[in-house]
Structure 1
Amino acid sequence: MTLTTVPAAHSPLDQKILEHFHGLVVRKDLTTELKQNAVVPTYVLEYLLGQHCATDDPTLIAEGLESVRRILAKHYVHRNQAELVKSTIKDKGTHKVIDKLTVTFNDKAGFHEVEFTNLGIKKVPIDDSYVKRYPKLLVGGIWAITDVEYELPVDPKASPWQIAGVKPIQVAGVDHDAFLAGRARFSTDEWMDVLMQSVGFNPVHFSRRAKLLTLIRLIPYCERNYNLLELGPKGTGKSHIFAEFSPHGMLISGSEVTAPKLFVSNANGKIGLVGYWDCICFDEFAGKDKKVDKTLVDIMKNYMANRTFSRGIEQLTAEASMVFMGNTQKSVAYMLKHSHFYEPLPDKYIDSAFLDRIHAFNPGWEVAPVRHELFCTGYGFVVDYIAEVLKRLRTEDYTGLYKPFFEVTSEVSTRDQTGFEKTFSGLMKILHPNGKATPQEIGELLDFAMECRRRVREQILRIDDTFKPNDFAYRDQQSGIEVLVLTPEEQQYPAFSGLRPLSSRTTADDITESPSHQQPDAPNPVEQAPQETPELSTPSLKERHLVVPENSRGWSYRRLFGDYLIGASGIIIRDPYIRAFHQIRNLVEFLRMVNEITPIGDEVNVHLITGSDQESMEKQVENLGQVQDSFAGTSTPFTWEIDASPNFHARSITASTGWKITLDRGLDLFQWFEFNAFNAAAVVQEARLVKGCEINYIAVKP
């Protein structure tokens, strides 16, 4: 297969990355294409690409790709070609191979032996100097370029294979000051996009909150002893970063770990994984049928709280962060109504003492399923480079950087405070590695960090009533405004979320609609969303302001507008952006909703006033004409007109019943989804992720 050698065009961000981090970036689509032919970790491929293709020169990229392909073809060991490689080593006497090496100690012979994962040769002696230099050889193994020699030994019991040299595939070192200087040339928004591209995603398809939900996964690499839990549907890429991103992290199956493997073997005193890795991710952690060692849970509780574990009477310490990833089977609303978010976990882990050690609960249900369009085709850091940067940042402590600007005003527990402060510290290191940010940016990260810890605490309250409920609130030191932090699911499902009355310390009037630090993509609602009922009824309508949380599900036109449109004989939609295919499809779904709530024999005339542009007008007129024709003869006859006024921006729905609904996004509420007959999101609006928006319901004179 011929690899693409040049993208259609460099984006301004790509050009900026190349300018300020020359030689440390790589085109991510090259990694994706190469990976189809070599089943090796991303950091291995990008190590090679970084050596040969860290440029924007098409000629040099083409030459570099050929070099990488030759290296992989000549030296990478495919399992099904292991015998051929062995024969090559025998014929040549020596040969370089790219393979994963794992070392064990032969206690009877008194020396270390190495096993090649793909090559399949075992019990190959290796000099102790390599083991001392690269201790991870003993725990989990490392990928390396190894010089392997073959010579028949005099002793028939000895191995004919010998190792002449080992070179781990990783960046030799990082100039941290140069990294900080380069970071200073990017705005916060640009830097978030750089990091998204570096982990392989196209930032164009992610909202600001969605980027935070992705980047929080990097915290275990830059924050010591950080404990993260993420549960969500299948296919959202939960384990992607932990499988491919860093040579300092290990992904293991949650059911495969044992206490000796993870901590220490009392039999031989051998330290386990926590002693060698910065981050250990337990994949497929959820599942009621998984066998769990209660002793392991108890050891983990102590380690996650105190960083210590025992070997007999001796106390040992380690710095490895723990990440737990698992799939959920139920919707958020179902779990809130019938159980709790921890319900998918094995029973022995549904332990309040264990769960209280979790610093942040990342809501995986807000993350869009991974699809082809989400992958990056631009430039990002060679993952091993950014992994080394994050490792360097583990020595920094940014937990208190919010205190000059914000004061925590609620009586949170010590573990709550530790949880959100470590999350805040990690996000600061990732986004503002020099420790400097605006009060607005600091407030945004503090708010998000407190939300992630609040989710841990609120769900624990459902399984253990001995835990004390408490609010999560902070005050802006400059403005004096106090903010009560709620999770999006509490805002969306107040009837199910078990919200407690606001304390006398905090009243609804104290909560600002939009704190000065808050970003447009993460609004703080002034009113909780109403709870949906199975059947549409005629409620007591009132004027109100509603904030729809970004990245949430469960919303539909019927839920948002239906009650206010019942009984209308005419509806006027003002939306300047009913132009593109998906926008007109939204219009059709709105008309279908009105049709469904209109009594048989009645008729509601729906008139659209929209805008246009020269490029799309012809197709827009054709599509709107088809809509008008198709709804003729139904309960919702449809007409439309184009307003060419340049000042036409406001979007609203006005009903003859005397209600006007203003929408800052118009009908375009939903995020992109795959439109096919087998996708629930194509036919059920509640199954779609929404864009954050604000809606006002205003009583007007009919």
Structure 2
Amino acid sequence: MTNLEDALGGIDVLADAETTDTVPTKSALDDKINEHFAGAVVRKDLVKAVRGNAVVPSYVLEYLLGQYAASDDESTIQAGIESVRQILATHYVNRNEHMLVKSEIRRKGRHRVIDKVTVTLNEKNDVHEAEFENLQIKSVIIDDVTVKQNPKLLVGGVWCICDIEYFHSDDQRVVPWILGSLKPIQVAGVDIDHYYEARKEFTTDEWIDLLMQSIGLNPEQFNDRGKLIALTRLIPFVERNYNVVELGPKGTGKSHTFSEFSPNGILISGGEVTVAKLFVNNASKQIGLVGFWDCVAFDEFAANRRTDQNLVNVMKNYLANKSFSRGTSIYGAEASMAFIGNTTHTVPYMLKNSDLFDELPEAYRDPAWLDRIHHYIPGWEVAPIRSEMFSTGYGFVVDYLAEILRAKRVEDFADKYEKYFTLDSSISTRDQDGIRKTFSGLMKLVHPTGEASEEEIRELLEFAIEGRKRVKDSILRIDATMRDNPVNFRYSDHAGTWTDVVSLEESQYPHLYQRDWDAQPAENAASEGSAQTHPGTIPESESISSAEALETPAETTLVEGHRDFKAGQKGVSYESLILPYVRGAASITITDPYIRMPHQGRNLADLLSLLATAKDDAEEIDVALVTAEETRVEYKHNQLLMLKSIKDASDAVGVRLKVRFDDTIHDRRIEASNGWRIDLGKGLDIWQRPSDNPFDFGRNRQEFRIIASAFSVHYVKSLAKPGEENSS
């Protein structure tokens, strides 16, 4: 028996391998982009066309495309693609072919390679030595001048184009590899004045779409709020000492920006970081990652359960003061930090049972540490990445944009909103810092000259306030002592009109967001006429199980037995056939070997959505689907993608789906942890396939569908007493 995750292992490779000869149609925006940024933009779908089996960041490929295919002329683009493919085929080192490349260097005496290079100091011999990641050679002498010009070689490594020479010596202590030349893959310089002038030719909406295309996303697939969320991931690259958290479901592209976008940022595993690696090594006095990178991002941060308390303490000081002490020395740095993690629960579940930082390791749920976070990106609002969400239009060569953003880190746009708006005086200094830094970063991205209309500034200010409010409200759930100083997250215009800012989840789930503040004096609940209410903790006495939340009097009338259905019959739905018998179940197992075709997937999605509608918003249900894997190669890919899409949609609403494949199953049944088993003669696929009429009522209401062939359903009650649910 295999899981869906295992079966999906090769899906990304299969999807990337799919190519098309169709040339994307250029939009009016694409023409405008090429007109004003000729030579600095590239068609974004070309990265997939040239990547092949080269495991390199997108900015490396776009650097090469920028050299050979930065044009809107199709013949030039095709010639550029072939040039880049040839360069990669000749010079990129595949890790599993390192011996072949070494032999080539030995045969020719000199060969150019594209590889990631890391440098260390050999203190014994007093020399710097380079290590090539894919070529798998090390102890290659590199001159001090090159290291001084490229300090990132010492921390994390840099992708470079290098000439490697071979000279054998009878002295076995001498490494035969000689570094002939080294050139980091990055743009040498940018004309920022031209960047400002060209920006004036674009409307704000056009410019945002250009930025979206530049990071590889299709703006047509995102609403205005979705675009802001995507652009917020860029703030650490344009704003110094900016601290951001993004928690959300898997597969939403959280880490993509930090791993693929910029040579000025580094993505590391949250479980691999140490004080010495991140800040400074006391033994060597070598400063760590924060001294060399504009952004240090921690991937899978929520999954890190091994926590060094000393690291937490040093990080806490750095996040607040931009400095850290090690030994007797105090160091300063400008690196921003991004903490990325996956959530396993829905938002209402977290609001009811804990807080929005529920997934973080316990050591990082320290209110003092959390208070250093400037913005919380709501990752649950981001849809799982689909193929149509990738851009085929023109955008900046990412290295070009990365250098622009780096140049703007020295600027501060934090006060630009003060021309039109004033923050409430109850907002603390630390809250204001979070709001101002997020606002400043968005301004630099969207309005790089600092000029914007009142409404444009209002939109960015409200988004910045919301992100900091999300942080603060979660802290108040964790630490009740911080509620003594109520904060009104609101602003006023110069006419004196106050606007309260609330997060989207606060508006969606007010009964869960605003809880247990009775102990707070009534006069503290409002300030200067504001009626804002803060969230609180959830008393254990109010927590109820899924069974208690979903139980209805009608359940007591359920009896064992069977029901027969005839072909051509209508009026049958899962709501009457299945739902009454699974109410109150915390876990459900669906066994059906035939969930392969789109209409069968639609049936499964209908049942899962029915379970989601029937349950309490703050509860979750575990559903296991046991089905058979499609054996026909041409259909297997589609089945896996369909089930993955259903799982993404189901997980997002608190019905946590796990799919297991078992080719030996034949029976069709549903087993619920409330003790009921439903034996389904025909499984879930009981109706005729839907008609081609898009307005056929049967597409949305099962009662209008026609039963395809006769079948029976048997209801069996197990010996377990009601409420004795298993924990599976």
Aligned residue for 2:152? 136
The match for 1:163 among 151, 161, 179 is 179
SS of 2:416's equivalent?
coil
SS of 1:237's equivalent?
coil
Letter matched to residue 163 of structure 1: L
Query: For the residues of structure 1 that align with 2:327 and 2:700, how far apart are their CA atoms?
Result: 79
Q: Does 1:69 align with 2:91?
A: no
**Unmatched 5+ residue regions in structure 1?**
510-532, 538-557, 559-581, 598-618, 635-702
Aligned residue for 2:363? 348
Q: Does 1:297 align with 2:282?
A: no
> How much has 1:434 moved relative to structure 2?
0.4
> How much has 1:632 moved relative to structure 2?
6.6
Query: For the residues of structure 2 that align with 1:348 and 1:116, how far apart are their CA atoms?
Result: 36
SS of 1:466's equivalent?
helix
TM-score by length of structure 1 reads 0.73
Q: Does 1:623 align with 2:695?
A: yes
Aligned residue for 2:10? none
Distance 1:57 1:342, change over 3 A: same
Q: Does 1:359 align with 2:374?
A: yes
Distance 1:404 1:620, change over 3 A: farther
Q: Does 1:486 align with 2:515?
A: no
Distance 1:153 1:536, change over 3 A: same
Letter matched to residue 116 of structure 2: K
Aligned residue for 1:264? 280
Matched-pair contact (CA < 8 Å) for 2:698–2:705: no
> How much has 1:144 moved relative to structure 2?
0.5
> How much has 1:536 moved relative to structure 2?
10
Distance 1:313 1:56, change over 3 A: same
Q: Does 1 or 2 have the higher relative contact order (CA < 8 Å, sep 6+)?
A: 2
Distance 1:625 1:452, change over 3 A: closer
**Unmatched 5+ residue regions in structure 2?**
1-16, 533-548, 554-574, 576-598, 615-690, 707-728
The farther-off stretch of 25-34 and 264-273 is: 25-34
Aligned residue for 2:529? 506
Matched-pair contact (CA < 8 Å) for 2:698–2:704: no
> How much has 1:312 moved relative to structure 2?
1.4
Query: For the residues of structure 2 that align with 1:629 and 1:99, how far apart are their CA atoms?
Result: 57
> How much has 1:260 moved relative to structure 2?
0.3
Aligned residue for 2:128? 112
1:183-198 equivalence runs, <5 A? 183-198=199-214
When the two structures are aligned, how many residues end up with a matched partner? 543
Q: Does 1:313 align with 2:328?
A: yes
Matched-pair contact (CA < 8 Å) for 1:359–1:422: yes
CA displacement, residues 185-206 of structure 1 (integer Å, 9 cap, x when unaligned): 1111111111111111111010
Matched-pair contact (CA < 8 Å) for 1:410–1:473: no
> How much has 1:473 moved relative to structure 2?
3.8
Query: For the residues of structure 2 that align with 1:628 and 1:154, how far apart are their CA atoms?
Result: 79
Query: For the residues of structure 2 that align with 1:98 and 1:5, how far apart are their CA atoms?
Result: 28
Letter matched to residue 23 of structure 1: G
Aligned residue for 1:201? 217
Q: Does 1:430 align with 2:502?
A: no
Distance 1:84 1:399, change over 3 A: same
Superposed CA RMSD = 3.0
SS of 1:296's equivalent?
helix
> How much has 1:147 moved relative to structure 2?
0.7
> How much has 1:7 moved relative to structure 2?
2.2
SS of 1:252's equivalent?
strand
CA displacement, residues 675-700 of structure 1 (integer Å, 9 cap, x when unaligned): xxxxxxxxxxxxxxxxxxxxxxxxxx
Q: Does 1:231 align with 2:231?
A: no
> How much has 1:27 moved relative to structure 2?
1.0
CA displacement, residues 109-146 of structure 1 (integer Å, 9 cap, x when unaligned): 11010000000011010111110110001001100000
Matched-pair contact (CA < 8 Å) for 1:454–1:472: no
Aligned residue for 1:41? 57
Matched-pair contact (CA < 8 Å) for 2:68–2:83: yes
Matched-pair contact (CA < 8 Å) for 1:355–1:456: yes
Aligned residue for 2:353? 338
The match for 1:244 among 254, 260, 274 is 260
> How much has 1:625 moved relative to structure 2?
7.6
Query: For the residues of structure 1 that align with 2:290 and 2:200, how far apart are their CA atoms?
Result: 34
Q: Does 1:322 align with 2:337?
A: yes
Matched-pair contact (CA < 8 Å) for 1:5–1:61: no
Distance 1:178 1:255, change over 3 A: same
1:245-644 equivalence runs, <5 A? 245-287=261-303, 290-468=305-483, 469-498=485-514, 503-507=526-530, 623-624=695-696
> How much has 1:58 moved relative to structure 2?
1.1
SS of 1:437's equivalent?
coil
CA displacement, residues 269-288 of structure 1 (integer Å, 9 cap, x when unaligned): 0110000000000000003x
The match for 2:191 among 175, 194, 209 is 175
> How much has 1:401 moved relative to structure 2?
0.5
SS of 1:461's equivalent?
helix
CA displacement, residues 144-200 of structure 1 (integer Å, 9 cap, x when unaligned): 000110112363311111011111100010100001111111111111111111111
Matched-pair contact (CA < 8 Å) for 2:424–2:492: no
CA displacement, residues 484-510 of structure 1 (integer Å, 9 cap, x when unaligned): 11111111111111266751413469x
SS of 1:181's equivalent?
helix
Matched-pair contact (CA < 8 Å) for 2:414–2:439: yes
Query: For the residues of structure 2 that align with 1:95 and 1:408, how far apart are their CA atoms?
Result: 61
Distance 1:68 1:6, change over 3 A: farther
Aligned residue for 1:26? 42
TM-score by length of structure 2 reads 0.71
